Structure 1
Amino acid sequence: MQNNFLPLNTRRFQQRAQVETPDTVYWERLAKPELLKEHNTIDYLDFSPSDPDNFVLTCSVRVQIFNLVTKLVVKNLSRFQKTAYGATFRQDGRLLAAGDEEGHVKLFDTTSRNILRLFKGHTAPVHRTFFTADKLQLASFGDDKAVRLWDVANEKVVQTYEDSHTDYIRAGAMHPQAGHMFVSGGYDGKINLYDTRAETAVQRTLDHGAPVESMLFLPNGSIFVSAGGSQVRVWDLISGCRLLTMMSQHHKTVTCLRLGSDGRRLFSGGLDRHVKIYDVSTYKTVHTLTYPNAVVSMAVASGDQAVVAGMVDGLVSIRRMIVDSKPSHLKKISADRGRRHGKGLMHPNNTQAVDHTIKERVKGPGLKKFDVLLRQFCHKKALDDAMATQRTQKKPELAVAVINDLLHRKSLYKALTDRPDEVLVQFIDFVCNHLGEARFMRTLMMAASTILDVFERQLVAYSQQLMEALERLSSAVQEEVKLTAELMQLKGAMDMLIGVSMDSGEVAHKPIYVETKAPKMQPSQAAEKYVVFVE
């Protein structure tokens, strides 16, 4: 009977999926990105603490507040003569500060768009500004290698730290609880810890090892994080700013850091077009987001409602978290109703108790044509149907599934014997085109070996077209053998370097292994067999 014949399982030929974890399931709920386009690089992004649906975007000479839902500009703060930098909200969301290329720091009222304060003192562009924890002061970090602390109320400078760095200062972070402590990071690779109460301005100087692009404190204030080069470093403030760990998950410069999930997750964006998400309890990567261009700025809404990323080409990607449309109280009502019906209570359309409900039989997917032909043992026709041009282009896994099934039946040799040259050339070209895919390699290598067995019977009877197809097959197999050998050499070299580094104590990380695509069978045997056959 047809019901006893199971259709071919093509899922085994799909690419190896990422290991599913709670974090993977959670972050996969981020919807497809909605894009905004600006005419210049997105310098900075920040979400409003008072209105989580609004975020501020700093680009060129404009500071704009967007609505997350409508994607429309709510307020346009275009009071800049030159480029604006690093617009950020105060903790209550009522004030907003931004630096500019002239060295000024401007303070805005978010409700009226008016400039409340204009702080002048820097002699070079100011790229980052942050409010202290007590909301009374404002710190600015400039390219004049100086850090200035301003009093918001009287519009005067409170402290100036001019000799703390020897290069541009492009990063800083304020302690989330102690308003007298903050850190700065410069392009000289140094990190300075400040305490405004002490006589000595700089309490400690650390070496990040690369120009520092971004910094932040964790919510408890005992740990701060710095990003620069391809590394993210974590420092323990309580134990004398000791380096806790170093993460090198990016292969290009890390440009921005953010916190999510109420401080339990750390985000890092980089020029390699990736945003890495780490668990702050283990500092291991739990998920990766990919973007179409280099990420230079990022913001995460409260409660992970959205992740907004700004790119170097002016593109803004907005990914909102998908929530269940049915409210929780409706879910509970539906569940209770289902339980009541399952306990033999009264059916709503009947006066008698219902103890069992017969559901309609759901028909499964029917057999495809090649499944029917395989059931009838028409192996040649089944192979022809699977090798149809349109099908092999859109879904090559179906053709590979049929080939694999014929190999298990030991019928592929018969299905290829006494066939027209056009059919054989099409089959050989399919093998050549998909031989390099890891999910198909083992099956297609066995198919290539079967092709050679077929042609060994009568060598002189084949046309020039068929011989050219065989030469293409030889080249494809030899390329895979060469690639496998190069990957094995690379793996050996990396193992040697990592082993030496581990012995010398320079690297404290686990060894990195390069996974090769070599199948269990040795492809060199098939290649050598064919080379002898052609020559």
Structure 2
Amino acid sequence: MSHFQATNVRRFQQKAQVVTPDTTYWDRLGKPELLKEHSTIDYVDFSPSDPDNFVLTCSVRVQIYNLVTKLVVKNLSRFQKTAYGASFRQDGRLLAAGDEEGHVKLFDTTSRNILRLFKGHTAPVHRTFFTADKLQLASFADDKSVRLWDVANEKVVKTYDDVHTDYIRAGAMHPQASHLFVSGGYDGKINVYDTRTADAITSTLDHGSPVESMLFLPNGSIFITAGGTQVRVWDMISGCRLLTTMSQHHKTVTCLRLGSDGKRLFSGGLDRHVKIYDVSTYKTVHTITYPNAVVSLGVAAKDQAVVVGMVDGLVSIRRMVDDSSKSSQLTTNKFAQRRRQRLKQRMAPPNNTEPVDHVVRHARHRLAQRVFDKHLRQFNYIEALDAVLIPLYIDQQPEMVVALINELLHRKGLQRALVNRSEESTIRFIKFLSMHIGEVRFMRVLLNAASNVLDVFEKTTFGYSNNLFNALVELRRVMKAEIRLTTELLQLKGALEMIIGGALDNNEATETKISYVQSKTTKMLPSKAAANYVVIVD
């Protein structure tokens, strides 16, 4: 007697992710620990002197947190209006922040005292950064100007007015040369400054979208800009030439950071993703997903933690897990493996026994059948469908529901399972179809299931409630959207095939023309002279 074959669920499971060294490394980031502020987190920066401390800029408060305790170490609440872009100096002893009033405030991180108050901007100052020599401070403001301040005497060194035609919300200082820095504005332009020259702006580049964030690589020869959905890489040595463009986000990129001692680039965006790139190839090596739009990002030294600020005031802290826990787990696995080997040796026959023709082994216990498989075995299709329409399968394991639907379609029993059902379970089934019909791995099965639903409602006459009617309307809307998307993709496919076909035809015609001219030229010229001629064909 043949055994009952369990429903095949594996065919609907997603393919396993390709494991790379970067995936293994960044998967060591632990579970997110959350902090909640009452407003958007404008900026996150880690202290260079104390890696366990990071500063959050939120509303009228600038707070320094401890990474281990998640408690506020210092509260710099000396702002009457919104504070912006609090960042540490390279030695971690000073901290500068702009505000809504157009002021720049300089704090001592050990005493929380205001050391300097720089006044001069007529609009909010969103970003402030120290120069490489730690003696000056640059401020980027909404009044379309950039100012350099002397930290020692509290005076402005240089002012660059109207260098942009819109707000300046991004800037970056050269990590080695204190006379070089860049600014990015909402006009989509990027300015490169050299304070030693009479004309301060040495280059003006076009990012193509409002610039949200900028940074230099550690050697200072390359700087990176983020704006719109693109991250662009510029080479300063070759005249600020565009090296590459990365378009991995589908919403605005809001922040950039470096990790792994400058070998990895982080970008956060409103699409709730943080992308990690390899700086040597500028390819995405890992992606981290967050519950809301990412607006600020900080990476601790040696990748010990990644802190992300979100638009709703939520702060996510993910710390790198120590290898000690993993080593203990590996040790436990080794002990278990040795125990299994010892059991095999005990069960094995002694060496001095005579050879045998066949060894009878105990049959392994079969896995317990799923509930819906038991109903399928008894041809109870209604009960089988009820067994998978539960929150556990619908929310966490939709492939189970689709596998059963596919089995019912093969048995031609789906319509039988849909007849004489309660309205609540029918609505649940229709909502499941509407939710997952757009997934590629489920689409073919669920489209056939939706067709069966329509056939059942066409053959059966009964009263429609508002909830059932709304569920059917939603199913119709989703199916129309899928049909429209399929039509557009087919049109795009046809257009691409025409373009590719035309390009191939032109290449073949050009090659034919070149070979024809070369053959004619070879016949007209002597053999030695023909080798010294190059034929150019437009």
Give the number of equivalent residue pairs. Answer: 480
1:27-56 CA distance string (max 9 Å, x none): 344334332222222221101112222110
Alignment correspondent of 1:148: 147
Code of the residue aligned with 1:401 in structure 2: it is A
If the length of structure 1 is used for normalisation, what is the TM-score?
Answer: 0.75
Alignment correspondent of 1:182: 181
Residue 407 (structure 1) shift: 5.4
Code of the residue aligned with 2:386 in structure 1: it is A
Alignment correspondent of 1:280: 279
1:1-23 CA distance string (max 9 Å, x none): 99x76643423334566555444
1:289-313 CA distance string (max 9 Å, x none): 3333332221122222222222233
Label 1:90 to 1:369 Cα distance change in 2 as closer, same or farther (>3 A). Answer: same
Q: Does the 8 Å contact 2:215/2:225 carry over to 1?
A: yes
Residue 174 (structure 1) shift: 0.9
For the residues of structure 1 that align with 2:341 and 2:492, how far apart are their CA atoms?
A: 64
For the residues of structure 2 that align with 1:406 and 1:179, how far apart are their CA atoms?
A: 71
Residue 393 (structure 1) shift: 4.7
Residue 430 (structure 1) shift: 7.0
Q: Does the 8 Å contact 2:165/2:187 carry over to 1?
A: yes
Label 1:295 to 1:446 Cα distance change in 2 as closer, same or farther (>3 A). Answer: closer
Q: Secondary structure at the match of 1:82?
A: coil
Q: Secondary structure at the match of 2:445?
A: helix
Q: Structure 1: which 5+ runs fail to align? A: 345-353, 506-535
Q: Secondary structure at the match of 1:489?
A: helix
For the residues of structure 1 that align with 2:134 and 2:346, how far apart are their CA atoms?
A: 64
Q: Secondary structure at the match of 2:420?
A: helix
Aligned 1:221-232 pairs, distance under 5 A: 221-232=220-231
Q: Does the 8 Å contact 2:33/2:317 carry over to 1?
A: yes
Q: Secondary structure at the match of 1:464?
A: coil
Q: Does the 8 Å contact 1:403/1:412 carry over to 2?
A: no
Q: Does the 8 Å contact 2:389/2:425 carry over to 1?
A: no
Alignment correspondent of 1:366: 368
Residue 315 (structure 1) shift: 2.4
If the length of structure 2 is used for normalisation, what is the TM-score?
Answer: 0.75
Residue 173 in structure 1 maps to residue 172 in structure 2: yes
Alignment correspondent of 2:29: 30
1:231-281 CA distance string (max 9 Å, x none): 222111111101112223333332211112222222222233333332222
Code of the residue aligned with 2:406 in structure 1: it is N
Aligned 1:423-462 pairs, distance under 5 A: 432-436=430-434, 437=437, 438=439, 439-445=441-447
Q: Does the 8 Å contact 1:412/1:450 carry over to 2?
A: no
Label 1:11 to 1:337 Cα distance change in 2 as closer, same or farther (>3 A). Answer: closer
For the residues of structure 2 that align with 1:83 and 1:66, how far apart are their CA atoms?
A: 19
Label 1:306 to 1:502 Cα distance change in 2 as closer, same or farther (>3 A). Answer: farther
Label 1:404 to 1:81 Cα distance change in 2 as closer, same or farther (>3 A). Answer: closer
Code of the residue aligned with 1:61 in structure 2: it is V
Query: What do you get for the CA RMSD once the two structures are aligned?
Result: 4.3
Alignment correspondent of 2:57: 58
Label 1:334 to 1:177 Cα distance change in 2 as closer, same or farther (>3 A). Answer: farther
Residue 173 (structure 1) shift: 0.4
Alignment correspondent of 2:378: 378
Identity across matched positions, percent:
65
Alignment correspondent of 1:40: 39
Q: Does the 8 Å contact 2:167/2:186 carry over to 1?
A: yes
Q: Does the 8 Å contact 1:386/1:398 carry over to 2?
A: no
Code of the residue aligned with 1:464 in structure 2: it is T
For the residues of structure 2 that align with 1:118 and 1:504, how far apart are their CA atoms?
A: 65
1:370-427 CA distance string (max 9 Å, x none): 44565xx533x3x34422267445425445434434555xx445x977x895159999
Residue 464 in structure 1 maps to residue 466 in structure 2: no
Q: Does the 8 Å contact 1:425/1:466 carry over to 2?
A: no
Aligned 1:208-357 pairs, distance under 5 A: 208-326=207-325, 356=345
Q: Secondary structure at the match of 1:326?
A: helix
Q: Structure 2: which 5+ runs fail to align? A: 349-362, 504-538
